[in-house]
């Protein structure tokens, strides 16, 4: 029963799927954060399945579109599933990570710590916040668009696993910026040896799918987690929930782009 509760709470936290109504799901998610890569794999699998469905449906119209619209039709057949899959991921996760990306962008450029914290929590979107969020998601779209359809399925799974692993790494190195969601996750995971399990789980998923490239994904997760902690400390005085979300989006985009470049080479 405990395992089922943990599963339901983590799914409820990382997605919009309402598997539980208990308020304790946030604390459970923080306490068992080392399991995030597993749920990243599940989210990636759902996104990969969605991509395949979009591609399959468009395959019926591809000859018509390519015949009458030429290169534009070809770009649409390749581009629509990519854009739809990025949108699916944003919707499935309730835009919470995307929101963190916007808030981080809002705060960048201000010299005063209090101003940066205020802008991160203000109900507004600056041009910097909008640009950062759109740019990162465009990179994710580009990664899917440039990758062969036959490879996208496993690329989405590995990218989501790596994104969640980077979040775990960030809390391992972090310190709370202020009270809030980020503080709870850092409190329960800072220097927590369970991070070894996170990397072991991630390895067992990404290495069979991508081999050496999978190992590079693990390195990217580590480097991104470490560097984003430094950025968060400089920007907010410590690790914040916004930077956790931004890290997820950034690492996903990087891994998808790396896949596209590796496949193309």
Q: Which of 102-111, 145-154, 166-175, 253-262 has the lowest mean pLDDT?
A: 102-111
Q: Are 146 and 259 in contact (CB under 8 A)?
A: no
**Total domain count, the chain:** 2
Backbone phi, then psi, for 22, in 5-degree steps? -75, 140
191-201 tens-digit pLDDT: 999 999 999 99
Distances (CA, A) of 36 to 14, 136, 145, 195, 215: 9, 21, 26, 10, 18
Give residue 69's pLDDT. 63
Q: Are 26 and 153 in a shared domain?
A: no
- What pLDDT is stored for residue 11 in this prediction? 94
Residues 158 and 194 in one domain: yes
50 Cβ neighbours under 8 A, 6+ residues apart: 84, 85, 88
Please tell me whether residues 95 and 169 are part of one structural domain. Answer: yes
Query: Which residue range forms the structural domain that includes residue 25?
Result: 1-31
How far from the centroid of its chain's Cα atoms is residue 169's Cα?
Answer: 13
Instruction: Kindly state whether residues 59 and 166 are assigned to the same domain.
Output: yes
**Predicted TM-score (pTM) of this structure:** 0.92
Q: What is the pLDDT of residue 60?
A: 66
Instruction: Give percent above pLDDT 90 in the chain.
Output: 63
User: Considering the chain, what is the average pLDDT of its residues?
Assistant: 90
* Per-residue pLDDT tens over the stretch 18-73: 887 777 888 999 999 999 999 999 999 999 999 999 988 877 666 666 666 666 65
Q: How many CB atoms lie within 10 A of CB 255?
A: 30
pLDDT tens digits, one per residue of 95-151: 889 998 999 989 887 888 888 888 877 778 888 889 999 999 999 999 999 998 889
3-class secondary-structure state, position 176: strand
Do 48 and 177 reside in the same domain of the chain? yes
Are residues 255 and 184 both part of a single domain? yes
Please indicate, yes or no, whether residues 19 and 47 belong to a single structural domain of this protein: no
């Amino acid at each position: 029963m405990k395992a089922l509760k943990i599963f339901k709470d983590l799914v409820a936290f990382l997605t919009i799927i309402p598997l539980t109504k208990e308020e304790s799901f946030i604390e459970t998610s923080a306490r068992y954060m080392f399991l995030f890569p597993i749920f990243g794999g599940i989210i990636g699998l759902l996104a990969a399945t969605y991509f395949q469905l979009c591609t399959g449906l468009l395959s019926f119209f591809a000859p018509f579109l390519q015949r009458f619209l030429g290169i534009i039709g070809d770009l649409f057949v390749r581009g629509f599933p990519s854009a739809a899959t990025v949108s699916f991921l944003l919707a499935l996760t309730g835009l919470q990570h995307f929101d963190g990306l916007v808030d981080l962008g809002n705060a960048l450029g201000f010299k005063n710590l209090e101003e940066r914290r205020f802008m991160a929590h203000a109900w507004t979107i600056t041009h910097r916040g909008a640009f950062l969020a759109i740019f990162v998601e465009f990179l994710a779209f580009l990664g899917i668009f440039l990758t062969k359809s036959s490879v996208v399925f496993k690329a989405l799974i590995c990218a989501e696993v790596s994104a969640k692993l980077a979040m775990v790494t960030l809390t391992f190195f972090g310190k709370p910026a202020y009270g809030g969601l980020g503080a709870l996750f850092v409190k329960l995971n800072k220097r927590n040896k369970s991070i070894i399990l996170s990397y072991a789980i991630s390895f067992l998923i990404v290495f069979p799918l991508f081999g050496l490239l999978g190992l590079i994904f693990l390195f990217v997760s580590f480097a991104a987690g470490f560097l984003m902690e430094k950025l968060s400390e400089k920007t907010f005085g410590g690790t914040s929930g916004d930077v956790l979300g931004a890290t997820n989006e950034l690492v996903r985009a990087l891994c998808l782009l790396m896949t596209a470049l590796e496949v193309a080479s």
